[in-house]
Amino acid sequence: MRLGDFILLNENDKRSGILHEGILVAKRTTAKEFIFLFQLATFYAEIHCSLADKSVIEYRAFKNTDELAPYLVSIPIDELLQ
């Protein structure tokens, strides 16, 4: 699936596409959300879920690796360098 195809999907098809074609690579928590990061063939997708009721708030998709910055702080690089 390409990013352009994903953007045009409805909410149910976005969820299905992410869960069937994506690989969960990270998760993080903000004050109000759980955010799950998935890698697909040519882009990344996030599922934003409410902490309060676990419902999906939004799906975000991107190719720019700069958007991965919030996840990089949780990678223990010191262990990888030894």
74 pLDDT tier (thresholds 50, 70, 90):
confident
Structure tokens at 50: 């409410």
Structure tokens at 28: 């993080």
Is the pTM higher than 0.75? yes
Task: Summarize the confidence of residues 39-65 as an average pLDDT.
Answer: 96
The CATH number of 3-81, from 3.40.50, 3.30.67, 3.30.1450, 1.20.1440, is 3.30.67
Residue 42 has pLDDT above 70, yes or no: yes
3 pLDDT tier (thresholds 50, 70, 90):
very high
